[in-house]
Structure 1
Amino acid sequence: MSHDFDSAFGDLQKGIPNCEKMMIFAHSHYVNGLNTPRFCSSLQQSPHDSSIVDNFIYKSCSLYTEHLMMETRLKSMNGSLSEQLDAIGALKKWHSVLSNAAAMICVAVAAAVAANVVPVSAGARAVIGALAAAGSVLFAALGKWRQSVLKKRETAVKKHKEIAERMCAGARLGMKYLFDIHHVAVRLHLEIKSLSEATDELLKNDEAYSKSMESAKQEVLVSIRGV
């Protein structure tokens, strides 16, 4: 699972056309694999078969572990993306100061030459003035281009961070409902003869889990499509 996610997210970071793996992963990750209605039906037909409950408890534990692993991976990724945003912000400031300083120096040189502060020949003055003026324009243009590149990168990282945060929230929500489902399943295991009330509660928790996972999936898919 971790390898599939890393591969899918790595492709997504390369650009919009590479989001297919992430779409497939999001669909598969948020599919509810508990089949609680089928479990309850089987349990009602075989109320003394504890193996049914054992298998269901094992499945719920496996799903919980999967969500936990995903949350841990996403937290780590989210921290890395935050560091990238901080680094991009620092680069934007540094390049802005550098390009502005370079442009100002060129303007100052052009002004000094034009005012004949530096004793040079007329021909040299014209060449130096032209180069300084051109340098001022060039550095300003380079500064704007670099800021544009950094801004695009910043936007992409923010989008990836949004996807990671939505998936992390979905994993936490899934664990909450899986914990409730597991708790009720354990109760069923201990009180297997009194199924009716516990089964109804289990179905409600499973329905809530399924709805929350479907909602999380849709939010993640919307975020991915918007990359």
Structure 2
Amino acid sequence: MTKRPSEEDDFFISDHGLNTESELDILRSKLSRLEEEKIALKHKLAEEKLAYLISTSFADIIQDPRRQKAIDMKEVHKKIIQQTVAATQARRVQEVMSSYRLAGYTTFTFQNKYMGVRLDTFYNRHYYEPYYIFLPKDKPDIIERHTVPFFIPIKLLAKRLLPDNLDSLLRILHDLLLAYVAKREQVKALKCHVDTSIIKVNVDDASFSAVEIIVPDEDPR
């Protein structure tokens, strides 16, 4: 379940002209539906894989039906259980990873001294470029490295929220990145669907928070 930003979160977003709450609500709604469909499909696929693993494992052990009585059935049972547990664990890991990616971010260890966070961006059913931040693994109280665009106030957010509210920091950063990517892609789509020799679309800053659309006056005649 996606948690709505608090008033404090809205303060950070609105201060920089990137508050697109209505757009984010639509994205969250679509994302929730896609997540449910994806998990259902993964369950179905995992069940089919599990059935295949069990059947093939059993077939490998009992290759000749005429020798079935001579086989230690306890060993057969043990191997089947092992295959079942391995398949279930693999399915669970895949579900967790998929859920984290759908939620927007995943964490990992980098060079054995940093906690890395990957922030995925998406808009209109497409994934776009990921962004990364790196915090000290043992004491995640500062952001030492990152690939977040310069116009997002990551230092201010880190100063106010770390180390106690890392989850809030990631949620706010993710919302800001989604807003940026959505605006950028909307401008690209607009330019593709209008005659730019007649209608001018000017972007005044790198964050796409100020876009000017100039439509010429109609011919007075």
Question: For the superposition of Structure 1 and Structure 2, which TM-score range results when normalised by the shorter chain?
Answer: 0.3 to 0.5
With the length of structure 2 as denominator, give the TM-score of the two structures. 0.33
Larger radius of gyration: 1
- Larger fraction in strand: 2
With the length of structure 1 as denominator, give the TM-score of the two structures. 0.32
- Larger fraction in helix: 1
